[in-house]
Amino acid sequence: MKTVIVHSPGTVANLVCGFDILGLALKEPYDIMKLRMLDTPEVIIRNRDEFNLPTEPHKNVAGVVLLSIMEKINEGIGFEIEIKKHIKPGSGIGSSAASAAGAAVAANHLLGNIFSNDDLVQFAMNGEKLASGVKHADNIAPCIFGGVSLIRCIHPLDIVSISSPELFVTVVHPQIEVRTSDARQILRQQILLKDAIRQWGNIAGLVTGFLKNDLDLIGRSLEDVIIEPVRSILIPGFDEVKTKCKEAGALGGGISGSGPSVFMLSKDEAIAKAVESVMKDVYTKIGIDFNTYVTTINKKGVEVVKGE
Ligand code: ADP
């Protein structure tokens, strides 16, 4: 098998109270990537979109991941990759993770699936290190495994897939720039014990709510008393969007990744669409361009759609 095409989905990381440890995969949007094996040890990147991402392998997330796989197997082979991104870089819905995870899964497919999903997360985290300066798995893990992922620990890697009800996800991406480095820098380094207690109560409640299909418990637990109060100031309209989306019936939601996208979970499509129109109204009124998605949780993760 010499070429493979994969669809690599967007993801929501920092799932409200689950900062750095909980993420979920989206059905849409997804990047399309075509990988071809070469019999020379090089990586060639061809962009098939308008984002002008670097084509030097060590500057592109997908390239870094492929180089790390080549170094590991040391067999003198290489890869040519065509990338058509639909997930805008810097949107906060895992654009870099989609490239990293998609490259890892596609390469593994061409190599005869010699690596486990945990190995692929390790390779893909090299890409996240390039994009944001730190290795983190809360986008990569759901992108590869699908569904909701708990990253209990990354040293050593301990990823737990969590079953969940068939929820709808509405995402709004206001077209403003929030630099991941700024979003990290403004976080407080110390937190109060009372806040920590409330936060871990919510995390336990959210995970239990997913596992027991308990929508009320999910809704009650979608509360972040530590990160959101600080970060939301970087996102115009955040409080209004959140309040009005909940009034429209959303279970709850918050900042996706480090923003600027905001996501809401809903129990059915009608509510998810009502939530979308609330988001549209708020950003139209503020006068900021935006994109919206109404989608569901993607249970498959990166999908191999064609191999030849
Ligand atoms: P997101 O949260 O949407 O993934 P990040 O800020 O984490 O956004 O990552 C985007 C950064 O990574 C941008 O600076 C972009 O130029 C860089 N980058 C390099 N290669 C890629 C790639 N293949 N896909 C997406 N972003 C990439």
List domains and CATH numbers for the chain.
3-163+298-307 (3.30.230.10), 168-296 (3.30.70.890)
> Which one of 96, 135, 185, 235 would you pick to mutate in the ligand 1 pocket, going by the greatest count of ligand atoms within 8 A of its CB?
96
Least confident of 135-139, 201-205, 217-221: 135-139
Interval 12-16 mean pLDDT? 98
By three-state DSSP, how is residue 271 classified?
Answer: helix
pLDDT bin (cut points 50, 70, 90) of residue 181 is confident
Q: Does residue 132 register a pLDDT over 90?
A: no
Instruction: Compute, in angstroms, the gap from residue 88 CA to the centroid of ligand 1.
Output: 8
- One-letter amino acid identity for 275? V
Whether the model pTM is above 0.85: yes
Q: Does residue 307 register a pLDDT over 80?
A: no
pLDDT bin (cut points 50, 70, 90) of residue 7 is very high
Q: Compute CA distances 111 → 9, 78, 82, 140, whole Å.
A: 22, 11, 18, 20
Atom number of ligand 1 nearest to Cα 87: 3
CA 188 – CA 167 distance, rounded (Å): 32
In terms of pLDDT, which residue wins out, 55 or 74? 55
Q: Compute CA distances 204 → 210, 220, 264, 288, 297, whole Å.
A: 10, 11, 19, 36, 20
What integer best gives the mean pLDDT of the chain? 96
Q: Is the CB of 96 under 6 A from ligand 1?
A: yes
CA 167 – CA 153 distance, rounded (Å): 26
CA angle (281 as vertex; 224, 89 as ends), nearest 5: 60
Atom number of ligand 1 nearest to Cα 85: 24
The verdict on whether 296 is a catalytic residue reads no
pLDDT bin (cut points 50, 70, 90) of residue 184 is confident
Q: What integer pLDDT is reported at residue 308 of this predicted model?
A: 67
What proportion of the chain, given as a percentage, has pLDDT over 70? 99
Q: What is the pLDDT of residues 98-108, one digit of tens each?
A: 999 999 999 99
Q: What is the pLDDT of residues 245-259, one digit of tens each?
A: 999 999 999 999 999
> Which one of 11, 26, 95, 256 would you pick to mutate in the ligand 1 pocket, going by the greatest count of ligand atoms within 8 A of its CB?
95
Q: What is the pLDDT of residues 190-210, one digit of tens each?
A: 999 999 999 999 999 999 999
The verdict on whether 40 is a catalytic residue reads no
